[in-house]
């Protein structure tokens, strides 16, 4: 049994949600340009044999060309909905994770403070699925806004003036069904990432502390633990992330039943299969370098900031001097 690293009264779900949302908002400001690069690389040469025409060579080329042709605005496309999405996703993921994990432990007759691999993975996947479901409309418009380029377009192009314009345009054209498009892919992606993010972070942190490598409340402990977590998330989540980007950005058609549906893919499994057939396994990992450039600092900042914010909040709440 591990010794719990946090002291004092545990955070409530609402407190954890707010602290997690603030931490994620700080992180996304830094990581959003890499998300733009990742999105465009994932859509480049979509379902084209031999890779199709390459607009961008690599992640650095995306940064360079986007800065040259679109400026800072281009590198930060989709930032407003990204803020709202991160608050919902990571507020849920970080806020619900501990209550889920502790209750699962109790259900199995174990101590709530014990770090069990099974309950940690289940809690991570479940809390991530909740966040992905709540934030799906925001991730949808974020992906479309990030893919849009007036100079070097890749994939289907959707031009929206603002987040509100995007949401209203989709709702008018497709109804509420359009706003939940790709939610199955979002749940798959986020559940896979969340199932390893916090468990790998907590496992690494416990290992460092229990073996007296680093102190419990050191920023270096948070940094090292979140670095390992970021690498694990990127490895596990990349294929599902590519499927999600393509599901969100695909053009829509009206079917025989009068409903709008994706013109290219029926579901994330269909997307992964078609991508594999035409582009091979490499197609699943398009944009993986940009994904790591995004997920590493994002995970490091989110989890490090979350721990620091929680410690500061607990100190203030509990009246510690």
Alpha carbons within 13 angstroms on the beta-carbon side of residue 85 total 23
Task: Determine contact, residues 293/37, Cβ cutoff 8 Å.
Answer: yes
Tokens of 200: 């790998």
User: 320: left (phi > 0), else alpha (psi -120 to 50), else beta?
Assistant: beta
Backbone φ and ψ for 239, nearest 5 degrees, come out as -60, -45
Q: What is the end-to-end Cα distance of the chain in Å, rounded? A: 30
Burial 177-214 (b: 16+ CB within 10 A, else e): ebbebbbbbbbbbbbbbbbbbbbbbbbbbbebbeeeeb
SS3 6: coil
pLDDT of residue 20: 83
How many degrees, rounded to 5, is the angle at CA 258 between CA 177 and CA 175?
25
The whole-angstrom separation of Cα 264 and Cα 241 is: 17
- The residues near 196 (Cβ < 8 Å, ≥ 6 apart) are 121, 124, 229, 232, 233, 236
pLDDT of residue 128: 80
Per-residue pLDDT of the chain (321 residues; tens, 9 = 90+): 333 444 567 778 788 888 888 988 999 999 999 999 999 999 999 998 877 788 999 999 999 999 999 999 999 999 999 999 988 877 777 788 888 999 999 999 998 888 888 898 888 888 888 888 888 999 999 999 999 999 999 989 999 999 999 999 999 988 888 898 889 888 888 888 878 887 888 899 999 999 989 988 788 888 888 888 888 888 889 999 999 999 999 988 887 877 788 889 999 999 999 999 999 999 999 998 899 888 888 878 887 888 889 989 988 888 754
- What pTM, to 2 d.p., does this model score? 0.78
Dihedral over alpha carbons 306, 307, 311, 316 (to 10 degrees): 0
* Residue 16 CB coordination number (10 Å): 24
- The residues near 58 (Cβ < 8 Å, ≥ 6 apart) are 41, 289
**Cα–Cα distances in angstroms (integers) from residue 22 to residues 16, 85, 303, in the given order:** 10, 12, 11
Task: Determine contact, residues 22/302, Cβ cutoff 8 Å.
Answer: no
Task: Determine contact, residues 239/280, Cβ cutoff 8 Å.
Answer: no
pLDDT of residue 5: 46
pLDDT of residue 7: 54
Helices (H), the chain: 13-43, 59-75, 79-107, 117-147, 163-174, 176-179, 183-210, 219-249, 268-279, 281-284, 288-317
């Amino acid at each position: 049994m591990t010794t719990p690293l946090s002291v004092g009264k545990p955070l409530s779900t609402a407190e954890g949600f707010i602290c997690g949302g603030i931490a994620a908002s700080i992180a996304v400001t830094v990581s959003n340009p890499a998300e733009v690069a990742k999105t465009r690389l994932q859509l480049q040469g979509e379902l084209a044999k031999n890779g199709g025409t390459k607009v961008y060579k690599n992640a650095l080329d995306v940064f360079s060309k986007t800065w040259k042709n679109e400026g800072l605005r281009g590198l930060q496309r989709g930032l407003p909905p990204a803020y709202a999405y991160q608050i919902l996703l990571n507020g849920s993921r970080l806020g619900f994770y501990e209550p889920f994990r502790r209750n699962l432990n109790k259900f199995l007759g174990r101590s709530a403070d014990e770090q069990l691999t099974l309950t940690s993975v289940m809690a991570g996947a479940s809390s991530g699925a909740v966040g992905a479901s709540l934030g799906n409309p925001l991730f949808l418009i974020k992906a479309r806004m990030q893919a849009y380029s007036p100079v070097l377009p890749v994939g289907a192009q959707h031009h929206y003036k603002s987040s509100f314009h995007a949401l209203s345009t989709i709702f008018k054209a497709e109804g509420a069904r359009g706003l939940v498009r790709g939610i199955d892919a979002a749940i798959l992606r986020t559940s896979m990432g969340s199932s390893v993010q916090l468990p790998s972070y907590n496992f690494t942190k416990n290992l460092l502390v229990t073996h007296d490598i680093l102190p419990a409340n050191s920023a270096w402990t948070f940094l090292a633990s979140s670095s390992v977590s970021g690498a694990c998330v990127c490895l596990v989540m990349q294929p599902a992330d590519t499927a999600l980007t393509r599901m969100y950005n695909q053009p829509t058609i009206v079917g025989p039943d009068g409903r709008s549906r994706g013109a290219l893919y029926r579901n994330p499994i269909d997307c992964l299969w078609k991508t594999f057939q035409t582009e091979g396994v490499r197609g699943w990992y398009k944009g993986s370098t940009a994904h790591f450039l995004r997920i590493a600092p994002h995970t490091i900042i989110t989890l490090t900031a979350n721990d620091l914010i929680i410690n500061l909040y607990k100190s203030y709440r509990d009246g510690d001097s």
